[in-house]
């Protein structure tokens, strides 16, 4: 029995559930790409699969729409694959476990992949139908959007005829995205020196921070939520200023574009100082809880005994690691002066690990001003260098600039007003979509981004609103048939 059987529109939810049965986290897209290629081939549709596993599928216009300008429908096939600590699903191999609650679709213990599985579901339902009126459809499904938009950067669109593109990667019904930030990833590496812990003098303890809401590092960066990696670094730094602390391990976060919810570290301390360390951690917990308030009411920090081997990092390495982590910026850097309430530039420390005698920090950097993004990356490189680390910038991509005249936007607004009886909100966002990259490949490309209501994307609490999926499906069909 399929979980989503009986939901309307049937084909949309059928294909959405099909997608959730195929592991498709970023970097693990071959299987879903092959599925999409077979889908197109089985229906006699033109399909191009490139070396990156991007997919382009073309369906000719329905009767009566042959002279209409084509539409490019675009989304991405990868998802942010995260799960709760207790979940035993292997997201590289296992299907997701869907359930429906309060008219929303969820996945048990994992992210859902509504971002951007709903785009795939919409376009497959369109391509599979013979009774829907539409111009020529040019479907573009990219890979690895969530890790730097590598698919969009590498795809060849020279064969497309369309000059109007509907991106289906928006997560709020009624808000039409018209521009977005650009971004980059910054990876920081600091070499560490390991040493033996003195037997009988040092004790290993584990520090944990948890209970944070986390969220999308673009959409929720302005919500004032705590970053587990940064908060743990703050506590460790405070401990190191009062006690002789030796780091043994640290890890936190699952993706650089998701605000981390949990982090932990193992440290070696004087065997006689454990009670004082526990007390100080509790003091930090109370202070941070007060700072976060109702933005993250369930924050908790704890200190417990740890089973560990007899090695750790020396005092110099520990100081360098904590200095590097705490000196690098995090969160909002600048707000827009033109658009009230819009974050202009930010960064998120998404992942921290200590492996192979290195501290590794992974950041997602975003800005609607390319020069400001580039300067922030340079600043991070300088801070890292001063701390004895190296910072490398990768996967940079440009933003999507607002277009003063947009015939496509006019259609989108006119259809929305007719269907909903009110105007939609036109909005610039701090998160990234692929429109800017694709517009640079097609001269005169006119873009908008739409989609149904989703919540808690990039987290294990992600869900999608069934009724909103239904409404946006009808809306999309109305746009495609408009003339």
- Residues with catalytic function: 78, 145
Q: CB neighbours of 71 closer than 8 A, spacing ≥ 6?
A: 134, 135, 136, 137, 138, 162, 164, 165, 166, 480
Residue 461: name the closest of 99, 91, 110 by CA. Answer: 110
Other CB atoms within a 10 A radius of the CB of residue 239 amount to 24
Residue with tokens 């490398």: 392
The count of C-alpha atoms lying within 13 angstroms of the C-alpha of 473, restricted to the half-sphere facing its C-beta, is 23
Instruction: Produce one character per residue of 284-315: b if its CB has 16 or more CB atoms within 10 Å, e if not.
Output: bbeebbeebeeebeebebebeebebeeebbee
Q: At what angle do helices 10-20 and 114-128 cross, to 10 degrees?
A: 130
Phi, psi of 142 (to 5 degrees): -100, 165
User: What does the alpha-carbon distance between residue 29 and residue 31 come to, in Å, rounded to a whole number?
Assistant: 6
CA 328 to chain centroid, in Å, comes to 21
Q: CB neighbours of 290 closer than 8 A, spacing ≥ 6?
A: none
Question: Is the sign of the CA dihedral 284, 288, 291, 294 positive or negative?
Answer: negative
């Amino acid at each position: 029995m399929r979980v989503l059987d009986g939901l309307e529109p049937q084909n949309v939810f059928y294909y959405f559930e099909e997608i959730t049965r195929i592991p498709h986290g970023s970097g693990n897209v071959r299987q879903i790409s092959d599925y999409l290629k077979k889908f197109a081939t089985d229906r006699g549709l033109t399909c191009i699969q490139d070396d990156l596993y991007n997919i382009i599928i073309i369906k000719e216009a329905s009767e009566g729409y042959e002279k209409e300008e084509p539409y490019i429908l675009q989304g991405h096939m990868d998802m942010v694959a995260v799960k709760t600590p207790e979940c035993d699903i292997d997201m590289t191999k296992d299907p997701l476990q869907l359930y429906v609650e309060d008219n929303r679709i969820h996945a048990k213990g994992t992210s859902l992949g509504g971002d951007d599985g709903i785009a795939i579901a919409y376009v497959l339902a369109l391509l599979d139908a013979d009774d829907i009126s539409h111009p020529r459809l040019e479907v573009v499904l990219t890979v690895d959007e969530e890790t730097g938009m590598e698919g969009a950067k590498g795809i060849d669109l020279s064969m497309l005829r369309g000059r109007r593109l509907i991106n289906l990667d928006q997560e709020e019904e009624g808000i039409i995205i018209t521009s977005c930030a650009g971004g980059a990833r910054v990876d920081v590496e600091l070499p560490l020196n390991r040493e033996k812990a003195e037997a009988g003098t040092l004790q290993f303890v584990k520090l944990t921070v948890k209970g944070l809401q986390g969220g999308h590092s673009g959409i929720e960066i302005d919500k004032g939520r705590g970053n587990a990696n940064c908060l743990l670094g703050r506590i460790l730094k405070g401990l190191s200023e009062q006690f002789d602390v030796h780091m043994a391990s640290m890890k936190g976060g699952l993706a650089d574009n998701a605000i981390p919810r949990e982090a932990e570290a193992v440290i070696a301390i004087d065997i006689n100082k454990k009670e004082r360390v526990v007390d100080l951690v509790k003091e930090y917990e109370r202070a941070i809880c007060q700072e976060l308030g109702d933005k993250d009411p369930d924050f908790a920090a704890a200190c417990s005994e740890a089973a560990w081997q007899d090695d750790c990092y020396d005092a110099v390495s520990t100081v360098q690691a904590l200095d590097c982590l705490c000196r690098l910026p995090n969160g909002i850097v600048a707000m827009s002066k033109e658009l009230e309430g819009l974050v202009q530039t930010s960064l998120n420390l998404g992942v921290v690990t200590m492996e192979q005698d290195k501290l590794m920090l992974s950041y997602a950097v975003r800005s609607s001003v390319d020069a400001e993004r580039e300067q922030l990356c340079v600043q991070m490189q300088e801070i890292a260098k001063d701390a004895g680390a190296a910072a490398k910038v990768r996967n940079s991509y440009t933003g999507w600039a607002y277009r003063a005249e947009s015939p496509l936007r006019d259609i989108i607004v006119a259809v929305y007003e007719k269907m909903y009886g009110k105007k939609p909100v036109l909005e610039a966002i701090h998160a990234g979509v692929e429109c800017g990259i694709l517009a640079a490949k097609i001269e005169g490309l006119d873009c908008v981004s739409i989609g149904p209501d989703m919540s808690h994307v990039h987290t294990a609490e992600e869900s999608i609103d069934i009724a909103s999926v239904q409404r946006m499906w009808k809306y999309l069909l109305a746009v495609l048939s408009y003339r």
